[in-house]
Amino acid sequence: MSGAKILGYGSYYPENIVDNNYLAKIVDTSDEWITKRTGIKERRISSGETVAQMAAKACQEAMQKAKCKPEEIDLIIVATITPDSVCPSTACIVQDMLGCKNATCFDISAACSGFVFSLITANALIKSGEYKKALVIGGEVLSRIMNWQDRNTCVLFGDGTGACVLGLSEENGVLATYTGSDGTLGIKSLTAGKVVPSSKICTTIEEVKVDHIWMDGRGVFKFSVKMLPQVVSKLLEKSGLCIDDIKYIVPHQANLRIVEEAARRLECPIDKFFTNLDNVGNTSGGSIPIALADMDNRNLLKKGDKIIIVGFGAGLTWGGALIEM
């Protein structure tokens, strides 16, 4: 039976690096405090780049690695909560930038689970026979909706975009998927309001008097350490595999403490989890595809390896996919 396989990866994040020492100058925090509680050392902050602009660059890299021409792409899905505009969709803007004239395009809003939801959607559409090659993109400019006076959130997030080409294949690709949502906890746990025009770091009370990211940190932590191992276990159950069959688990890059606790609950070594949040922070929908591109650049993804990707976040939402390379 034909399925869908990842053919190429790409990523792009801004050159502007904001480290913990810089944040210590604008909020009551320190490098030690942030590192100990999150594992994050620095993050990239947009100097004006939009999600579409960053996505186009990530897609160019992914298509080059997949040896894919723009006209071969017939589906583009962008996962983002910081779109360039309400309409047209960011996916349509990316289509125009890349010249993918044959693509159907739309966005998905599922925050930190967005890339997983998008990959699962693209996989199903390709398996249906309607499409053959998709660009699946996750990315954010979270600095546009950040309250830079809230030390509980501004130290966590960064900007960046990742992408992959997913194509019809006779080889094994996406082996199992799992998703879920709980809207009853959404507004109580993690919200983000309107996107403000500027991506600069706000430093005055007047500049932050708009809707920004708000999070019940303790509640989201409890949810995350529960859902990450639960999604992994569900995927193993659905696929008939065991944890030893999995080369890497690639979680949403939210917080190193979440990953450490998930590893403990799954009784597997922390080395099985790939993380790069120390130098990019939490990029929400961008975190998993950025991590996959990073792994590809390090030659960590070998043909035949099985990996699990897991997203969890605002909505509340969660989901994962078990993928053979």
Residues 191/212, Cβ–Cβ less than 8 Å: no
| H helix intervals, 162-249 | 186-189, 217-239
For CA atoms 143, 144, 149, 151, the dihedral sign is negative
Residues belonging to the active site: 112, 252, 282
| H helix intervals, 43-194 | 51-66, 90-98, 114-127, 151-154, 186-189
Find tokens 């998709």 and name the residue. 134
185 vs 20: CA distance, rounded Å: 31
62 residue type, one letter = A
Residue 75 is classified by DSSP as E
Find tokens 């100058």 and name the residue. 25
Residues 6+ apart with CB under 8 A from 14: 44, 45, 46, 47, 49, 54, 159, 160
From its phi and psi, is residue 101 left (phi > 0), alpha (psi between -120 and 50) or beta?
alpha
